[in-house]
Amino acid sequence: MSTGVESPIALHAEALRRELDWLEAVLDQRFQQHFGNSGSAAPADAADVMPSAPDAPVLPPGSALRDIVQRHNLDARERLVLALALAPHLRPGALDLFFVKNRNLDRGFTEFGGYRAQHHSGFLPTGETAAFLIAGDDIAARIATAALFDPEHPMTRAGIVRLHDDVGAEPQLSGALLPGAEILQWAQTGVSHKPDYNAQFPARRITTALGWDDLILAPDVMEQIAVVQTWLREGPALMDAWGLGKSVKPGYRCLFYGPPGTGKTLTATLLGQSAGVDVYRIDLSMIVSKYIGETEKNLARVFDQAQSRQWILFFDEADALFGKRSATQSSNDRHANQEVAYLLQRVEDFPGTVILASNLRSNIDEAFSRRFQSMIYFPIPDATERLRLWRSLIRQPERAGPDVDLPALAAQHELSGGAMVNVLRFAALQASREGLPHFTADHLRHGMARELRKEGRTA
C-alpha cells in the first residue's frame, strides 16, 4: 500500500489507517480476554491500556493525526478513545464485533455499551464502550477512563472527543462518544473545521470585505479600539512581561454601546480580522429559552466550543441576556437571575475575548459593567464624519447625479452609517427602476425620509 506521499489527503488517510488497524488489534485482544480465549490477565494499571496490548503505531510525519497527537500530547488511552470515536465515520465495520449477543439473555452485552442510530446501521460507541475497551472489568482502570471525559480534562477541554450529555439519570458513561467536529475534519483533510450554525451551536461566524479605512469613527473612539487591538495582538505576553500575568485574569471583556448602525458589529469583525481570529455572533433567539436550565445549557455549548480556541464571541443586542437583574418576586425572577449569574461566571472565566453590543449602557447589569476592561461609546457621526462616510460609501462618484450635494446632506441630516447604507440602497434601486445611470438628490431625500420614519423622526 502507498505511504501516501502523493497527496495530502493520502497522507492523512495513511495515518488514520494505521490508527484504526491498531484499534482493531486492541479490540480483538480485548474480546479474546473478555471471553477467556487468552487466559486471565493481571489487573491493568490505571494508566495502561491493557496488559500486553499492541503498541500504538508510529504515524507518518506531516499527517494531521500525528499533529493532533503531538499538539495535545495524547497518550495511548487517549489515542484509543479518539480512534474509537472516529471509527464510525471512517471504518464502521471495525465495530461490528460489538453486535455479538449474550446467548443466555438473547441480547447484547451490557458492558459493551453503544447504540444503533436511526439511519446508521452500524454500532455507535458510548463512553461505556471506551471503558470496556480500555479497562475491561478493572474498576480502577474504569474510573481512570471516566476521568478522560471530565470537563476539566485537557482532551475534553480541547474538544477532541466528548460524551453527549443528554443522558438524564442514566449512568455517566451512557452518553454517545463523539469526536469534535473540528478534529474529525482536521484528521481527514488537515483543514481546521469552522463550526456550522445549528441548534447545537447557536452562533454564526461573521466576516466582512471592508477594512479599517471603511470604518469612520471619532478619533477618541478609534483610540479606545486600538487598545483592544493591542490586547488581541499581544495582551497575555505583555502582561507577563510587565509582571502582571498572575494578577490579571485571562480574557478580555468589552462593551460597545450606542445607537444602531454606528459601527459596533463592523468594529468587532475588523478586530477579529486584524488579529487573525474568528468572530462568532451569538444568536440570542436560539440561546434564550423559557424552560428552566435550557438557556444555561445553550450558553454552555457556545462557551465549551470556544474555550480552547482564540475566538471573539460577539453578543449583539446583549440586553436580552445581560440585562439588569430584578427583585425576586416569583420563580420566573429567580430563573432569570440565575441565568444572569451563570452568564456572568462563564464570561468572567472565558480566556478569550467577549464583546457585548447594546444600544444603551444603562441596560446592562452593573455586575457585568464592573468586569468590562473597555466600555466604548459609538455615537452618531458628526457632520464631518458623515461627509467622510457618504464619500466612502459612494465608491463610483459618477453614480451621484449632478444635483447631489454631499456636504449639504452631511450637514443637514443626522444619520448613522448603517442608515446611510440603507438610503443609498434605496436610491440605487429607484434609479434603476427609472432607467437612470445615476441616483438623484430626490432619490436620496426619499430614502432619508424612509429611514427617519423608521426611527420615529421626520425629515
- pLDDT by residue (tens digit) across 4-57? 445 788 999 999 999 999 999 999 999 988 887 544 444 455 455 565 678 899
Q: How far apart are CA 335 and CA 349, in angstroms?
A: 21
Query: How many other CB atoms are found less than 10 A from the CB of residue 234?
Result: 12
Q: How far apart are CA 144 and CA 130, in angstroms?
A: 11
Q: How far apart are CA 42 and CA 285, in angstroms?
A: 55
Residue 5 is predicted with a pLDDT of 45
Which tens digits make up the pLDDT trace of 70-102? 999 999 999 999 999 999 999 999 999 998 888
**Looking at the domain 203-377, which fold is it?**
Rossmann fold (3.40.50)
Q: What is the 3-state secondary structure (H, E, C) of 6-17?
A: CCHHHHHHHHHH
Q: Are 312 and 318 in contact (CB under 8 A)?
A: no
Q: Do domains 203-377 and 383-454 have the same CATH topology?
A: no
Dihedral sign (CA 262, 264, 270, 274): positive
Domain 383-454 in this protein, CATH class: mainly alpha
Per-residue pLDDT of the chain (459 residues; tens, 9 = 90+): 444 445 788 999 999 999 999 999 999 999 988 887 544 444 455 455 565 678 899 999 999 999 999 999 999 999 999 999 999 999 999 999 998 888 887 788 899 999 887 888 899 999 999 999 998 888 998 999 999 998 788 888 788 998 887 666 788 899 999 998 788 888 998 887 676 656 567 788 899 999 999 999 999 999 999 999 998 888 878 877 877 767 777 788 899 999 989 999 999 999 999 999 899 998 776 677 666 667 777 777 788 778 777 789 998 877 766 665 455 555 555 555 666 677 778 888 888 899 988 887 776 767 667 778 889 999 999 999 999 999 999 989 899 999 999 999 999 989 999 999 999 999 999 999 999 999 999 999 999 999 888 877 765
Q: Are 87 and 17 in contact (CB under 8 A)?
A: no
Alpha-carbon distance values, 222 to 218, 231, 258, 376 (Å): 6, 14, 15, 10
Domain ranges (residues) in the chain:
8-189, 203-377, 383-454
Q: How far apart are CA 378 and CA 416, in angstroms?
A: 10
Residue 41 is predicted with a pLDDT of 44
Dihedral sign (CA 110, 111, 117, 120): negative
Dihedral sign (CA 13, 19, 21, 24): negative
Residue 291 is predicted with a pLDDT of 64
Cell of residue 400, nine digits: 451621484
Backbone phi and psi for residue 312, each to the nearest 5 degrees, phi listed first: -100, 120
